[in-house]
Amino acid sequence: MGISMTPWQRTAHGANLLDSAGQPGVTIFEEITALANKHNAINLGQGFPDTEGPEEVRQIAIDSIMGGANQYAPGSGTLQLREAISEHQNRFYSLKIDPLSEVVVTTGATEAIAAALLAFIEPSDEVVTFEPFYDSYAAMIGLTNAQHKVVPLRAPAFEPDLDDLRSAVTDQTRVILINNPHNPTGAVFSLTVLNEIIALAHQHNCIIVSDEVYEHLTFGTKHVPIASLPGGFERTLTISSSGKSFSFTGWKVGWATGPKELITALRTVKQFLTYSSGPAFQPAIAQALQLPGPFFERFAATLEESAIALSRGLEAAGIPVIRPKGTYFLVADINQFKRKDAVEVARLMPEQVGVAAIPLSVFARPENMKHYQGFLRFAFCKQPQVIAAAVEKLQHLPEVLNR
């Protein structure tokens, strides 16, 4: 007699986490990374920077460790960090956040997302996301045993059709989960889309969970938190992280802000996940959040230069690029070529091209993967010399695509 899969396993099966026999397998990310390592390829599949964050911020963490900040931090986060988060939201977005009741520090944005979904979702509820979506969303929705509904983002704009959005959100919808700026497409959603989400949240009495970890990494456009728009704050949990804004992805210091009643519910769940973390990192991130505006501007500008360099290199090879408005990622379109299954191409690239990328289709539900079959996602959060070396190798990608 076969053993039925749990909701998480069913979700994982769709995300290539189980093999054909239903046994634990590896994700496409692990597979491509292993191939990149095997063939000494430049890995533009993984979205992590290869440069360190500010030295003065790192020194604060070192000093904190040596000074004894090695035991449990308060469950909501240190007051110093919560005050810095509150000041950050006011400085950049004119959002007035009470550091005592409207902020909670989490073990990365991933825990904040998990705690938010576990706090508010029952098995009979619906959760709406855009598709493609960051892979942890489906896994966490699976853990809640809720129904995962998706609104497609179609190339080249990767903006949702408003009629599709209105159809997806119903009175059974408990959470609209958005990621803006958007991984994996690099899109930044328009005010029209954001205002429609707010209107639907009010109409159907649901909440918005807004993953904004790339808030400071936009190009030629300004990030607008959905909580800063009329009617947004009272229904929104806003999530961000030090990993993307300061290149400290391994520190796993994230946070959520929002109305007291929403934060209280999230914090109640969070205390049974990690309770607290990063006592030495929290004072460092508090200082980082107070860095002057030019720091954030320079960081985004440097990243944009890498995006432009990689885009031009791919375009010079004859591969169309959907240029990003934000994040670490851009999307290349291989639909015009003879070999246009991006999963197959991604598995060949480390050996035959010397560069690794991730197929966009793995960020979609199994039944919808076909819509994204001809797209590759590249991470450009790398040093200029790495991007330049990758561009040189990518001139050979059309040879693989045309075989």
Task: Tell me the DSSP string of 244-281.
Answer: HHHS-GGG-EEEEE--HHHHHHHHHHHTTTTS---TTH
Which range marks the domain in which residue 376 is found? 7-52+294-401
Are 77 and 47 members of one domain? no
pLDDT at 213 over 60: yes
Are 48 and 61 members of one domain? no
pLDDT at 18 over 50: no
Are 102 and 39 members of one domain? no
Are 336 and 274 members of one domain? no
User: Pairing relation of β-strands 173-179 and 207-211?
Assistant: parallel
Domain-ending residue, one of 269, 290, 311: 290
Are 356 and 298 members of one domain? yes
Average pLDDT over residues 196-216: 98
Are 283 and 335 members of one domain? no
Are 215 and 234 members of one domain? yes
**pLDDT at position 322, please?**
98
**pLDDT at position 26, please?**
72
Compare 137 and 13 and report the one with higher pLDDT. 137
pLDDT at 4 over 90: no
Average pLDDT over residues 105-124: 97
**pLDDT at position 48, please?**
85
Selection from 11-20, 21-30, 190-199 with the highest mean pLDDT = 190-199
Are 240 and 285 members of one domain? yes
DSSP string of 44-107?
-SS---SS---HHHHHHHHHHHHTT--SPPPTT--HHHHHHHHHHHHHHH-----TTTSEEEEE
**pLDDT at position 198, please?**
98
Are 62 and 46 members of one domain? no
* Residue 182 to residue 211: CA distance in whole angstroms: 9
**pLDDT by residue (tens digit) across 140-188?**
999 999 999 999 999 999 999 999 999 999 999 999 999 999 999 999 9
Are 159 and 265 members of one domain? yes
Q: What is the CATH number of the domain that holds 388?
A: 3.90.1150.10
Are 267 and 317 members of one domain? no
Please report which confidence band the pLDDT of residue 7 belongs to, taking 50, 70 and 90 as the band edges. low
Domain-ending residue, one of 244, 263, 290: 290
Please report which confidence band the pLDDT of residue 231 belongs to, taking 50, 70 and 90 as the band edges. very high
* Residue 244 to residue 108: CA distance in whole angstroms: 10
Instruction: Give which of 277, 246, 258 is closest to 111, Cα–Cα.
Output: 277
pLDDT at 19 over 60: no
Beta partners for residue 356, in sequence order:
43
**pLDDT at position 15, please?**
47
Average pLDDT over residues 376-388: 98
pLDDT at 343 over 80: yes
Are 280 and 298 members of one domain? no
Beta partners for residue 255, in sequence order:
105, 240
Q: What is the pTM of this model?
A: 0.93
**pLDDT at position 121, please?**
97
**pLDDT by residue (tens digit) across 68-112?**
999 999 999 999 999 999 999 999 999 999 999 999 999 999 999
Task: Report DSSP state, residue 325.
Answer: S
**pLDDT at position 25, please?**
62
Domain-ending residue, one of 271, 290, 309: 290
**pLDDT at position 14, please?**
43
Mean pLDDT, the chain, integer = 94
pLDDT at 23 over 50: no
Please report which confidence band the pLDDT of residue 380 belongs to, taking 50, 70 and 90 as the band edges. very high
**pLDDT at position 6, please?**
54
How many domains, in total, are found in the chain?
2
**pLDDT at position 47, please?**
87
**pLDDT by residue (tens digit) across 282-326?**
999 999 999 999 999 999 999 999 999 999 999 999 999 999 999
User: Pairing relation of β-strands 236-241 and 253-257?
Assistant: antiparallel
Burial 131-146 (b: 16+ CB within 10 A, else e): bbbbbebbbbbbbbbb
Q: What is the CATH number of the domain that holds 222?
A: 3.40.640.10
**pLDDT at position 115, please?**
98
